[in-house]
Amino acid sequence: MIVARPEEFAGVVADAVESLVRRRPTPVLGLATGSSPLPVYDELVRRHGRGGLSFAATTAFLLDEYVGLPFDHPESYRAVIEREFTGRVDFDQQRVHGPDGQDTDLHAACAAYEAAIVEAGGIDLQLLGVGGDGHIGFNEPGSSLASRTRLKTLTAQTRLDNARFFDSLDAVPRHVLTQGVGTILEARHLVLVATGEVKAAAVASLVEGPVTAFFPASALQLHPHVSVVIDEPAAGQLRLADYYREAYAGKPPWQTL
Ligand code: F6R
Q: pLDDT per residue over 58-109, tens digit each?
A: 999 999 999 999 989 999 999 999 999 999 999 999 999 999 999 999 999 9
- Tell me the backbone φ, ψ of residue 36, rounded to 5 degrees: -55, -45
Share of the chain above pLDDT 90, in %: 93
Sign of CA dihedral 236, 239, 243, 244: negative
Measure the CA–CA gap between 19 and 44, rounded to whole angstroms: 12
Q: Tell me the mean pLDDT in the region 1-27.
A: 92
pTM of the entire structure? Answer: 0.97
User: What is the dotted CATH code of the domain comprising 2-248?
Assistant: 3.40.50.1360
Residues sharing a CB contact under 8 Å with residue 194, sequence separation 6 or more, in sequence order: 36, 129, 130, 202, 203, 228, 229, 230, 234
Provide the pLDDT confidence category of residue 223 given band limits of 50, 70 and 90. Answer: very high
Q: Tell me the mean pLDDT in the region 30-42.
A: 96
Q: Which residues are catalytic?
A: 64, 133, 135, 140
Mean pLDDT of the chain: 96
Q: What is the pLDDT of residue 110?
A: 98
The residue nearest atom 10 of ligand 1, judged by CA position, is 129
Q: Tell me the mean pLDDT in the region 156-179.
A: 95
Provide the pLDDT confidence category of residue 122 given band limits of 50, 70 and 90. Answer: very high
56 CA from centroid of ligand 1 (Å): 26
The residue nearest atom 1 of ligand 1, judged by CA position, is 33
Measure the CA–CA gap between 113 and 115, rounded to whole angstroms: 5
Evaluate if residue 256 carries a pLDDT over 90.
no
Q: Tell me the mean pLDDT in the region 225-254.
A: 95
Residue 122 in contact with residue 188, Cβ under 8 Å? yes
Q: What is the pLDDT of residue 148?
A: 98
Measure the CA–CA gap between 191 and 17, rounded to whole angstroms: 10
3-class state of residue 227 by DSSP: strand
Q: What is the pLDDT of residue 8?
A: 87
Q: What is the pLDDT of residue 158?
A: 93
158 CA from centroid of ligand 1 (Å): 9
Evaluate if residue 7 carries a pLDDT over 80.
no
